[in-house]
Amino acid sequence: MTVATLYIIATPIGNLEDITYRAVRILGEVDLIAAEDTRHSLKLLNHFGISKPLTSYFDHNQQFKGERILNALRRGKTVALISDAGTPCISDPGFQLVRDAVAENIPVVPLPGACAAVAALAASGLPTDNFTFAGFPPSRQGKRRTFLSDKNALQGTLVLYEAPHRLLETLSDIREVLGERQVIVARELTKIYEEFIRGTASEVIAAVSQSIVRGEVVILIAPGKITHHESEPLENVLRRLMDAGTLSIKDIAKQAAIISGVSRSDAYAEALKLKNSED
């Protein structure tokens, strides 16, 4: 290993046996390891007898540390990027560093491995031929509902991450915005208390309400049954969505535009007109 290279290395999301032989070898050979949390990663490295220089690289220092890591690469050093768990750059820091390395023609080599979203999807029983990974929803309800509404017309399985303390709120918004779809909550993946909670949105909410959820969570949502009413007048579509009473005027206009094939601005203007007439 003599050529400056940035290695993107997936690490276990729980079970330490889920690291690859290649990952252990490369981590033991590089000149520098950039870790999201050096204290957390040190436990992993110690477990495999790896002793290498460590530097932190996380959301709040990535601009400053990214330049230092690039300087090391420019000097011909080899660097491994790891996150606390799973694959770097997937809802974890790393995108900017990879982008800058590519811009300078520095080789970037991925070492595949654990990824919570893919592991949960594979065991979900939901369609896997077409899926969208959308990361963490916004923490504020209004923005979260808009975020979910924007995903309403997707044809494949929707995969999200969520923090345990926001799980119930997010599930409630999923039911309100996307309806009673099949939902799966996957938690503690690869760990002792690994669990998959399956059912309709209401059934999963009821099950989650009975327990204390710990650890990061993957939420999987089955595709919706979207019917395109090409010949249905825009007014009829708007009234149908407004009668449901679960979406804002802005979100109603978005969905009506998708269903009826008109522009979003025209749908919004018509929605406001109907709302004002009813008021």
| Mean pLDDT of the region 109-113 | 97
Residue type, 76: G
Which residue, chain included where needed, has tokens 């923005």?
143
pLDDT tens digit string along 123-145?
999 999 999 999 999 999 999 99
Q: What is the mean pLDDT of the chain?
A: 91
| CA–CA dist 5, 101 (Å, integer) | 9
Q: Could you tell me which residue, 191 or 239, shows the higher pLDDT? A: 191
**Rounded distance between C-alpha atoms, residue 164 and residue 140, angstroms:** 15
pLDDT digits (tens, 9 = 90+) for 188-203: 999 999 999 999 999 9
Instruction: Report yes or no: 156 and 132 within 8 Å, Cβ to Cβ.
Output: yes
* Lowest-confidence segment of 35-44, 157-166, 246-255 by average pLDDT: 246-255
**CA atoms of 5 and 18, how far apart (whole Å):** 24
Q: What is the pLDDT of residues 131-183, one digit of tens each?
A: 999 999 999 999 999 999 999 888 899 999 999 999 999 999 999 999 999 99
State the pLDDT at residue 227: 45
The residues near 278 (Cβ < 8 Å, ≥ 6 apart) are none
Q: 135: closest CA among 123, 152, 147?
A: 147
Residue 229 lies in a domain: no
Query: What is the extent of the structural domain holding 238?
Result: 234-278
- Assigned token pair, 135: 């990361």
167-178 vs 201-209: helix crossing angle, rounded to 10? 160
Per-residue confidence at 232, pLDDT binned at 50, 70, 90?
low
CA dihedral (258, 263, 267, 270) in degrees, to 10, reads -150
Residue spans of alpha helices (H) in the chain? 21-29, 38-47, 62-74, 95-103, 116-122, 141-150, 167-178, 201-209, 234-244, 249-260, 264-278
Check whether 230 has a pLDDT greater than 60: no
Confidence of residue 13 (pLDDT cuts 50, 70, 90): very high
Residues of the chain with pLDDT > 70, as a percent, come to: 96
From the DSSP assignment, how many helices (H) and strands (E) are in the chain? 11, 10
Give dist(CA 100, CA 81) in Å, integer.
14
The answer to pTM > 0.85 is no
Is residue 1 pLDDT above 80, yes or no?
A: no
Cβ within 8 Å of residue 54, ≥6 positions away: 32, 33, 34, 35, 38, 41, 42, 45
Q: How confident is the model at residue 75 (pLDDT cuts 50, 70, 90)?
A: very high
CATH number assigned to the domain comprising residue 75: 3.40.1010.10
Q: Do 124 and 213 lie in a common domain?
A: yes
In the predicted structure, residue 2 carries a pLDDT above the cut 70: no
Mark whether 40 and 60 lie in a shared domain.
yes
Q: Answer whether residue 19 is part of any domain.
A: yes
pLDDT at position 260, please? 73
CATH number at residue 160: 3.30.950.10
Number of domains making up the chain? 3
Tell me: do 103 and 126 sit in the same domain. Answer: no
Residue 138 near residue 149 (C-beta atoms within 8 A): no
pLDDT > 60? residue 228: no
114, 137, 162 - which closes a domain: 114
Claim to verify: residue 125 and residue 100 sit in the same structural domain: no
Three-state secondary structure call for residue 65: helix
